[in-house]
């Protein structure tokens, strides 16, 4: 290769200038450019680390807030369930009390109606005996059979007791 002919005296001067330029460029880069790049990279790494730490802190706060929210939701749910249970028990007690009151009122009405029916039956039976006694006396009078009112009433009572038996 003719470019790398070390026997040529111009080639040696080119190599010397190459080494000088390379040395100066290396010194300039090392002394001025690379420290600035390194400081920018260090700042960027520090900023990234700070952002990561802030993100971790925010995530921890978010998780704590979520845990608090879940706990408060669970507590509210439990409180609501207790309130519902208490309302159900109270409503059942009120319904039972109202049912007992209605049953007592109905039982009283039934007892009163039964008493009225018994009284009406007894009155009807008493009136029936009186009517039967009067009818028997009227028939005896039509037939011209003399009979005492007490005897007729006793005969009607006997017949009524035999018919009931």
Question: Tokens standing for 142?
Answer: 């039509």
Q: What is the pLDDT of residue 129?
A: 78
Distances (CA, A) of 95 to 21, 22, 53, 99, 105: 105, 103, 62, 6, 15
- Residue 108: which domain range? 8-119
Whether the pLDDT of residue 149 is over 80: the answer is no
- Does residue 143 sit in helix, strand or coil? coil
Instruction: Report the predicted TM-score, pTM, of the whole model to 2 decimal places.
Output: 0.42
Could you list the beta-strand ranges (E) of 12-150: none
Q: Is residue 136 part of a domain?
A: no
Q: What is residue 111's predicted lDDT score, i.e. its pLDDT?
A: 94
Window from 2-6, 12-16, 136-140 with minimum mean pLDDT: 2-6
Total structural domains in the chain? 1
Residue 113, phi then psi, degrees to nearest 5: -65, -40
For residue 39, being part of any structural domain is answered with yes
pLDDT digits (tens, 9 = 90+) for 26-55: 999 999 989 999 999 999 999 999 999 999
- Nearest Cα to Cα of residue 164 among 132, 117, 139: 132
**126 belongs to a structural domain:** no
Tell whether 23 is covered by a domain.
yes
Look at residue 59 and tell me if it is in a domain: yes
pLDDT for the residue numbered 162: 77
Asked if residues 123 and 133 have their Cβ atoms less than 8 Å apart, the reply is no
Has residue 140 been placed in a domain? no
For residues 12 and 6, the answer to whether their CB atoms sit within 8 Å is yes
Q: How much is the pLDDT for 2?
A: 65
Q: Residue 37 falls within a domain, yes or no?
A: yes
Enclosing H/E stretch for 26? helix 9-28
């Amino acid at each position: 290769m003719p470019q790398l002919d070390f026997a040529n005296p111009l080639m040696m001067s080119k190599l010397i200038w190459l080494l000088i330029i390379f040395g100066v460029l290396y010194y300039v880069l090392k002394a001025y450019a690379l420290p600035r790049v390194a400081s920018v990279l260090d700042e960027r790494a520090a900023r990234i680390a700070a952002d990561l730490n802030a993100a971790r802190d925010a995530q921890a706060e978010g998780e704590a807030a979520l845990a608090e929210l879940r706990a408060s939701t669970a507590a509210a749910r439990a409180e609501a369930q207790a309130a519902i249970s208490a309302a159900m028990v109270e409503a059942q007690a009120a319904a039972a009390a109202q049912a007992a009151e209605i049953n007592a009122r109905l039982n009283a009405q039934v007892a009163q109606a039964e008493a009225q029916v018994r009284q009406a039956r007894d009155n009807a039976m008493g009136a029936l005996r009186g009517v039967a006694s009067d009818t028997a006396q009227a028939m005896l009078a039509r037939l011209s059979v003399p009979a005492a009112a007490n005897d007729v009433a006793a005969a009607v009572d006997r017949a009524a007791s035999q018919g009931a038996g």
